[in-house]
Structure 1
Amino acid sequence: MSAPFAELRHRLLSLWNLQTPVLRGSILMCLSTLAFSVMHVSVRSVSAELDPFQIAFFRNLFGLAFLIPLLLGNGWAQMRTTRLGLHALRGLVNIAAMLMFFTAVATTPLAKVTALSFTAPIFAACLSVLVLGERFRLHRWLAILFGFAGMLIILRPGLAIVEPGALLVLGSAALWSTAMIMIKILSRTDSSIAIVAWMGIFLCLFSIGPALMVWQPPSPGAWLWLVFIGFSGSIAQVSLSQALKETDPTAILPLDFLKLIWTALLAAWLFGEIPDIYTWIGAGVIFTSGLYIARRERRSARQANA
């Protein structure tokens, strides 16, 4: 029985390898955005029964379980590191961001959550100057101001009630951007396998405590949701990582906007949530700002290496 499956796998891999790197990266990026959206919808669904802190623990636990075959296939030697403390600090920052984000997903319109999450690269651009000492560039700061203008379009402070969940998303985005800076530092010495593996381990460790404070036994239906959240989250992360390896990130970053489209469609179908025009306009402004920053930084890096 294994021979037909092996032959099918060989043919599919051959067909895959015949495609251009940009097409392969685009397909994987689309898969990643869909998986992220499905995970967010799943978190919202199970949050009616379980606290977001407990959901975050199981997302990390099952996510790590799905990554174990990848770790075994690449060898445990890939996990060697001389920066365990920085890995731990990154895990602490990540779990704080995840707890804030999952709480927002449970209480705030999903399209708005996704739109505001696009601010993470903008926060990262600010931190790159302050923490990594990257050059001050006028175009970067103009793009950052443009991105924050998009945030104000969505929130409309003074004209509409600013939901606590929206502020949690922004806090989460700021923390995610801090984690991005840590990844840049870790990538100078550690393998990508080590970075992913240690993140999974520390996320599990740091999420146990908050989960125990609100613990209640999940129902059989909730267990299915929790496993699915871990699976879809792992698919999203692995697909994104592989997509960025296949081709120039700036070639596929525009597809990240699909997250908002998938999420809006799923939220409208399952929860009856229809995003207002301000969410779409603000998301477009924020996303354009982040994309511009990414393209300019990529161009600057190429010129520096030329």
Structure 2
Amino acid sequence: MSWQPLLFFRALPPQKQAIAYTLMSIFFFTVMGVFIRKSSENIHIMEVIFFRNFLACLIIIPVMYSSGLASFKMNRPGLFVWRAVFGSIGMFASFVSITLIPLAQATAISFTAPIFITILAFFLFGEVLKFRRVAAIFIGFIGMLIIVQPNVEVISIGVILAFIGAFFHSINSLIVKQLTAKESVNAIVVWMVIMLVPISIVPAIFVWEWPSALTWLYLSCLAFCGTLGHSFFTRAYSLAEITSLQPFQFIQLPMAAFLAWVIFSELPGYWTWVGGIIIFLSTVYITRREAKIKTSKIVNSELLAPK
């Protein structure tokens, strides 16, 4: 099996390939959420996280090894390590949140990642936060409140973890985009799961119990979906800008809502849809605005360049 672009994608331009990979990653990540929930009904979530990474290694390393040792080469190992650290925190938070709150609600909260990316860009890269960006972030924050509907007494720990997961996944997305500039997609995918195995086994040891045959099936499907989702996600980021792909993420909400309804008899509340749409619109505005600003800068630099 080869991890090069699928044959029927090769004739497509890079942007369309990236969109196709994004849609496939969304599908597999959404299905993965179902298997996270099913697996955690039988074993501790810490074990679920470990087996997601361990079984992914069993799936992906033989495949990558067949492509040659060049698949494992790291040009910036420090960045790989940081990605594993932030990725493990994001994985822990998002996995646990899926077991505590409705799947559609967890999915809607995940749409806040682009908002976090914009805020992080301000603090980490010194990007200017002008009025339109601030307004879009504020509108996205309103969407968060609509979904969460906090009362004066308590906010669900599952909701808090979902936001934490979105925050660390936004950091992860920034790192992935940096890595794709100089690293192969194969290396990015392989080293992530390899590094996450020793990180995730430590907490799993303290709650260890051997999975049943049915749970093994769930865990295998979880690892398979996670591996494909991660691979397609990374491939998409290597072909196109994050800003051009973000609007397609919203398809995950109706997909998650449908699966949650069919499998878990969960019907997302009215406010989950309203808040999700508001967050989606604010993130689309942010990503489109960033793309427009970037294009304007490129055009201006070309006009000012010496002839």
Q: Which amino acid aligns with 2:47?
A: Q
For residues 77 and 159 of structure 1, what CA distance do their matches in structure 2 show? 55
Correspondent of 1:88 among 70, 81, 84: 81
Equivalent in the alignment of 2:233: 240
For residues 127 and 174 of structure 1, what CA distance do their matches in structure 2 show? 9
- Whether the 8 Å CA contact 2:83–2:172 is kept in 1: the answer is yes
The alpha-carbon deviation at position 190 of structure 1 amounts to: 3.5
Matches within 5 A, 1:213-228: 213-228=206-221
- Whether the 8 Å CA contact 2:189–2:234 is kept in 1: the answer is no
The alpha-carbon deviation at position 188 of structure 1 amounts to: 5.0
Equivalent in the alignment of 1:287: 280
The alpha-carbon deviation at position 86 of structure 1 amounts to: 3.1
Equivalent in the alignment of 1:44: 37
For residues 150 and 31 of structure 1, what CA distance do their matches in structure 2 show? 26
Larger mean Cα displacement after TM superposition, 104-113 or 194-203: 194-203
- Whether the 8 Å CA contact 1:128–1:181 is kept in 2: the answer is no
Residue 167 (structure 1) aligned with residue 173 (structure 2): no
TM value normalised by structure 2: 0.86
Equivalent in the alignment of 1:178: 171
The alpha-carbon deviation at position 173 of structure 1 amounts to: 1.1
Write out per-residue CA displacement over residues 160-188 of structure 1, whole angstroms, 9 at most, x where no aligned residue.
96321011100111112222333344445
- Whether the 8 Å CA contact 1:127–1:181 is kept in 2: the answer is no
Residue 130 (structure 1) aligned with residue 123 (structure 2): yes
- Whether the 8 Å CA contact 2:244–2:287 is kept in 1: the answer is no
Check 1:125–1:84 CA distance in 2 against 1; reply closer, same or farther (3 A cut): same
Equivalent in the alignment of 1:260: 253
Structural RMSD (CA): 2.4
TM value normalised by structure 1: 0.87
Q: Which amino acid aligns with 1:152?
A: L
Q: Which amino acid aligns with 2:183?
A: D
Point out where structure 2 has 5 or more consecutive residues left out of the alignment: 1-5, 300-307
Point out where structure 1 has 5 or more consecutive residues left out of the alignment: 1-11
Check 1:165–1:75 CA distance in 2 against 1; reply closer, same or farther (3 A cut): same
The alpha-carbon deviation at position 159 of structure 1 amounts to: 7.4
Residue 112 (structure 1) aligned with residue 105 (structure 2): yes
Percent identity for Structure 1 against Structure 2: 34
Check 1:106–1:280 CA distance in 2 against 1; reply closer, same or farther (3 A cut): same
Size of the alignment, in residue pairs?
294
- Whether the 8 Å CA contact 2:112–2:140 is kept in 1: the answer is yes
The alpha-carbon deviation at position 84 of structure 1 amounts to: 2.4
Q: Which amino acid aligns with 2:32?
A: M
Equivalent in the alignment of 1:200: 193
